[in-house]
Structure 1
Amino acid sequence: MRYFVTIAYEPTVWSDADEATRQRYHQEHLTFHDAVKERAHLVAGEALAGPETATTLRHRDGSPVLTEGPFAESTEVVGGFYLVDADDLDTMTELCALLPKAYSLEIRPVVRVEGFEER
């Protein structure tokens, strides 16, 4: 089963971190990657630019309207994601526990929609 993992954290987690803490965060991601190689399959994973770089598209009266900035105000920002193919949720939670403790991680199963498998 595929799982989508959203990585969220307080905006200052990185900017306020000293070099040793940043290195620890980096090492924890590498440990996560190594564990996924052994127990699951990493489909995708990326870090995201800050929310101030976002463009939000909404529809008003049937027409698209673009707004600079994030979709919603939040105390946490989404800073990245992983898409992992793992046997079960227990495996995913064990793997995600290796990531930095400063993160809030939302782990959600991916739903396969019939007719979109090959697109």
Structure 2
Amino acid sequence: MKYMLLIYGNENAWTEGERERCYAESIELTKQLHAKGQYLGASPLHLVSTATSVRVRDGKKLITDGPFAETREQLGGYFLIEATDLDEAINIAGRIPGARVGTVEIRPVMELDGLPPGGEPPQSH
């Protein structure tokens, strides 16, 4: 089963050096997951100050700078993994460096028929 591991934390909780070590540790975790066939994707996000939110109401697009919600913890990145069950996903989430200073939310991914496969866009001929 696929799980999305959403990493939340205070983006100001890390020094630049700590952030770089977090990235290095996360890359190592992705390599370990890849070797076991569990890695589907992962990436940190730019700071919340770069966010843009879009809402459509009454057919009109409403665009605002900033995140969807003002909170003390922001979505900072994600892992998309393959795990046999929730217990295995919890084990992997506990290895994510952001879990030590923030929260990792685990959500099962719904599989919908008709969605194109992920990955590279189709090649034009």
Alpha-carbon RMSD across the aligned residues, in angstroms, is 2.1
Alpha-carbon separation, structure 1, partners of 2:29 and 2:61:
39
After TM superposition, the score normalised by the length of structure 1 is: 0.82
Q: Contact 1:40/1:86 (CA < 8 Å) preserved in 2?
A: no
CA shift digits 1:54-78 (9 cap, x unpaired): 1111112221111111111011011
Alignment partner, residue 2 of structure 2: 2
Q: 1:74 maps to what in 2?
A: 71
Map 1:1-119 → 2, pairs under 5 A: 1-14=1-14, 17=15, 19=17, 21-22=18-19, 24-100=21-97, 101-116=100-115, 118=117
**Alpha-carbon distance change, 46 to 9 in structure 1, aligned in 2, over 3 angstroms:** same
Q: For residue 98 of structure 1, report the CA deviation from its aligned partner.
A: 1.2
Aligned residues of 2:30 and 2:42 also touching (Cα < 8 A): no
In 1, the alpha carbon distance for the partners of 2:92 and 2:78 equals 14
Measured after TM superposition, the shift of residue 7 of structure 1 is 0.6
The aligned residue for residue 122 of structure 2 is none
Relative to structure 2, which stretch is displaced further, 3-12 or 23-32? 23-32
Gaps of 5+ in 2: 119-125
Cα deviation for residue 18 of structure 1 reads 6.6
Shift of 1:40: 4.1
Matched-pair contact (CA < 8 Å) for 1:32–1:96: no
The letter of the residue matching 2:112 is V
Query: Identity of paired residues, percent?
Result: 31
* Number of aligned positions between the proteins: 116
Q: Please say if residues 52 and 64 of structure 2, whose CA atoms lie closer than 8 Å, have aligned partners that are also in contact.
A: yes
1:24-45 deviations in Å (ceiling 9; x for gaps): 4234314422431344421111
8 A Cα contact 1:31 1:98, kept in partner = no
- Over 3 Å counting, the alpha-carbon distance change for 1:68 and 1:23 in structure 2 is closer
- Taking structure 2 as the reference length, the TM-score comes to 0.79
- 8 Å contact 1:7–1:103 — kept in the other structure? yes
Q: Return 5+ residue gaps in structure 1 as ranges.
A: none
